[in-house]
């Protein structure tokens, strides 16, 4: 590679889960501290970071098409951008990327972002740099302070996964479960609120596995952290995602009934409704134990909205076993769900299991599942009509005078009037569609 001038502008493109989005924001802040500016809309950047996701094959392959596009755009403009690949594909396939894509200068895994500045120096001298170490020191502590502005902010509290579901790459790409320290999280939450956040979503691959010690040295779980964060003036809403059924504890469940700022929403993936499949997936819970947990949440907070993740066509899944997934969807009546066709991932146990399912069967099952999910989502939205709730104004809608925000149950709500981003308004939900509701504003609660 030829030596290059220091980049003046950057663009970070994040794929995958919210933790990747959070990491992308932190990398952007780090680059800003190096004096590199975000590239103006519509202009090519000198440095492009592809913050990739490895969860399914389609997501992982995207990185190569994106690199191709960047190289082509660089040739047309007569100036090749510096390309860095970050995120979970970088972790899983760092060497392969370097071999397959000579245009890539930097490969940086999700636990090594704080080393980006040194890697950039190397790249400018014409050397290629790879760092996919998972050092014991937490990257977050080495990253600059938060500067994010906006009414709704992410805060990663936990990373990594020790569960080893047989289909999943996350334990390999993100490493073992670690919890960020209580005091760091409280500090960061204060900074986010000072910068304008009204809502904070606590993030983790298994967010409810977060454990720490509170200010008095007592052991705390996520419920305890949430109770402390609820004491921050100016913070109006707390959410968390993604939880694992086996990491739930009574205190977190009780918090849903006791902490007014904790929103009535729970994303709790079950993946499948059949116990043989759950066992083959190494989920370590049954359909029944999952349903009992849901009952507890509903007892603590009767209006709680539930969402889940599902995989269809896991190796060996029969039609009858798939029907159990449809049954659990009907039983829980989810407000929203994510559903995926099983994608064999290199190095995971399920990829070499017998009974891989044909793509057309997966397509057909996914369609049936999604139509059940859509039915319940519409029913949940329809049942909300007539309720009055608080909406956090997040952005302008497509039409003049139209605004968009979220209900406590994470539904998109649109309404008309003269507002500012970050306003909390009281809205009557007047009309339901499959993906959003129309609201009639009753009053502005806080500005």
Using CB under 6 A, pick the residue from 47, 48, 49, 55 that binds ligand F3S. Answer: 55
- With tokens 């960047």, the residue in question is 70
Q: Which is nearer to ligand SF4, 64 or 164 (CB)?
A: 164
How many angstroms separate the CA atoms of 157 and 334, rounded? Answer: 26
Binding marks (x or -) toward ligand SAH, 186..215, rule CB under 6 A?
Answer: -------------------xx---------
Burial of 286 (0-12, 13-18, 19+ CB in 10 A): middle
Name, in order, each residue with C-beta under 8 angstroms of 80's C-beta and a sequence gap of 6 or more.
71, 74, 103
How many angstroms separate the CA atoms of 101 and 97, rounded? Answer: 6
Using CB under 6 A, pick the residue from 27, 28, 53, 119 that binds ligand F3S. Answer: 53
Query: 321 to 340, contacts with ligand SAH by CB under 6 A?
Result: 340
Using CB under 6 A, pick the residue from 22, 342, 415, 419 that binds ligand SAH. Answer: 342
β-bridge mates for residue 396, sequence order: 403
Q: Is 389 annotated as a binding residue?
A: no
CA angle, 182 then 196 then 8, to 5°: 95
The set of long-range contacts for 414-422, using a CB threshold of 8 Å and a minimum separation of 24, is 414/438, 414/439, 415/391, 415/439, 415/440, 415/441, 416/441, 417/441, 419/393, 419/444, 420/393, 420/447, 421/150, 421/151, 421/393, 421/394, 421/395, 422/150, 422/151, 422/196, 422/198, 422/392, 422/393
State the nearest-atom distance from the C-beta of 168 to ligand SF4, in Å.
3
The reply on whether position 26 binds ligand F3S by CB under 6 A is no
Q: Which is nearer to ligand SAH, 20 or 343 (CB)?
A: 343
Stretch of 61-69, 145-153, 167-175, 230-238 contacting ligand SAH, by CB under 6 A: 167-175
- Classify residue 81 by its DSSP letter: P
How many angstroms separate the CA atoms of 291 and 288, rounded? Answer: 5
- Classify residue 198 by its DSSP letter: S
The reply on whether position 170 binds ligand F3S by CB under 6 A is yes
Q: 387, 426 in Cβ contact below 8 A?
A: no
Q: Which is nearer to ligand SAH, 198 or 244 (CB)?
A: 244
- Classify residue 380 by its DSSP letter: H
State the nearest-atom distance from the C-beta of 21 to ligand F3S, in Å.
9
Helices and strands per DSSP (H, E), number in the chain: 13, 21
Q: Which is nearer to ligand F3S, 348 or 381 (CB)?
A: 348
Total binding residues for ligand F3S by CB under 6 A? 14
Binding marks (x or -) toward ligand SAH, 55..94, rule CB under 6 A?
Answer: xx--------------------------------------
Strand, helix or coil for residue 118: helix
Stretch of 166-174, 303-311, 321-329, 398-406 contacting ligand F3S, by CB under 6 A: 166-174
Query: 278 to 337, contacts with ligand F3S by CB under 6 A?
Result: none
State the nearest-atom distance from the C-beta of 167 to ligand SF4, in Å.
7
| In 78-144, alpha helices (H) | 87-100, 116-124, 139-142
Using CB under 6 A, pick the residue from 44, 251, 275, 309 that binds ligand SAH. Answer: 309
Using CB under 6 A, pick the residue from 19, 50, 92, 168 that binds ligand SAH. Answer: 168
Residue 407 tokens, joined: 């209900």
Q: 10, 37 in Cβ contact below 8 A?
A: yes
Q: Omega into 242 within 30° of 0, i.e. cis? A: yes
Using CB under 6 A, pick the residue from 156, 179, 205, 208 that binds ligand SF4. Answer: 205
The reply on whether position 227 binds ligand SAH by CB under 6 A is no
Binding marks (x or -) toward ligand SF4, 230..269, rule CB under 6 A?
Answer: --------------x-------------------------
Residues making contact with ligand SF4 (CB under 6 A)? 161, 163-165, 168, 170-171, 205-206, 244
Residues making contact with ligand SAH (CB under 6 A)? 55-56, 167-168, 170, 205-206, 242, 244, 269, 271, 309, 311, 340, 342-343, 345
Please give the annotated binding residues, written as ranges. Answer: 17, 53, 88, 161, 165, 168
Residues making contact with ligand F3S (CB under 6 A)? 16-17, 19-20, 53-55, 87-88, 169-170, 173-174, 205
């Amino acid at each position: 590679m030829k030596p290059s001038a220091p980049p003046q502008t950057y663009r970070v493109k994040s794929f995958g889960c919210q933790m990747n989005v959070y990491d992308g924001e932190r990398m952007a802040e780090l680059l800003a501290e190096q004096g590199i500016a975000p590239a103006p809309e519509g202009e090519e950047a000198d440095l492009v970071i592809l913050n990739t996701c490895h969860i399914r094959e389609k997501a992982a392959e995207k990185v190569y098409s994106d690199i191709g596009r960047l190289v082509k755009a660089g040739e047309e403009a007569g100036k090749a951008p510096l390309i860095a690949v970050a995120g979970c594909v970088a972790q899983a396939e760092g060497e392969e990327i370097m071999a397959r894509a000579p245009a890539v200068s930097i490969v940086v895994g999700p636990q090594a972002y704080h080393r980006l500045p040194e890697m950039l120096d190397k790249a400018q001298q014409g050397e290629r740099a790879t760092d996919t170490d998972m050092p014991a020191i937490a990257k977050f502590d080495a990253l600059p302070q938060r500067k994010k502005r906006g009414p709704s902010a992410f805060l990663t509290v936990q990373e990594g996964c020790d569960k080893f579901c047989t289909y999943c790459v996350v334990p390999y790409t993100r490493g073992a479960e670690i919890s960020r320290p209580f005091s760091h999280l409280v500090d960061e939450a204060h900074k986010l609120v000072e910068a304008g956040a009204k809502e904070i979503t606590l993030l983790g691959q298994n967010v409810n596995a977060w454990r720490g010690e509170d200010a008095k040295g007592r052991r705390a779980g996520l419920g305890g952290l949430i109770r402390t964060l609820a004491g921050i003036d100016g913070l109006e809403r707390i959410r968390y995602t993604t939880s694992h059924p086996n990491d739930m504890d009574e205190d977190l469940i009780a918090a849903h009934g006791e902490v007014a700022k904790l929103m009535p929403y729970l994303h709790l993936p079950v993946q499948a409704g059949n116990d043989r499949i759950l066992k083959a997936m190494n989920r370590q819970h049954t359909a029944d134990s999952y349903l009992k947990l849901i009952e507890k949440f509903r007892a603590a907070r009767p209006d709680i909205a539930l969402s889940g993740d599902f995989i269809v066509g896991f190796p060996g899944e029969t039609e009858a076993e798939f029907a159990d997934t449809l049954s659990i969807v009907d039983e829980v009546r989810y407000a929203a769900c994510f559903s995926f066709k099983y994608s064999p991932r290199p190095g995971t146990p399920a990829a070499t299991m017998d009974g891989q399912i044909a793509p057309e069967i997966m397509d057909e099952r996914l369609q049936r599942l999604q139509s059940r999910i859509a039915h319940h989502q519409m029913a949940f939205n329809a049942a909300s009509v007539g309720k009055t709730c608080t909406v956090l104004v997040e952005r302008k809608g497509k039409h003049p005078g139209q605004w968009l925000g979220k209900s406590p149950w994470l539904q998109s709500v649109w309404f008309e009037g003269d507002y500012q981003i970050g306003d909390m308004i009281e809205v009557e939900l007047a009309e339901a569609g499959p993906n959003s509701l129309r609201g009639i504003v009753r009053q502005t609660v806080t500005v």
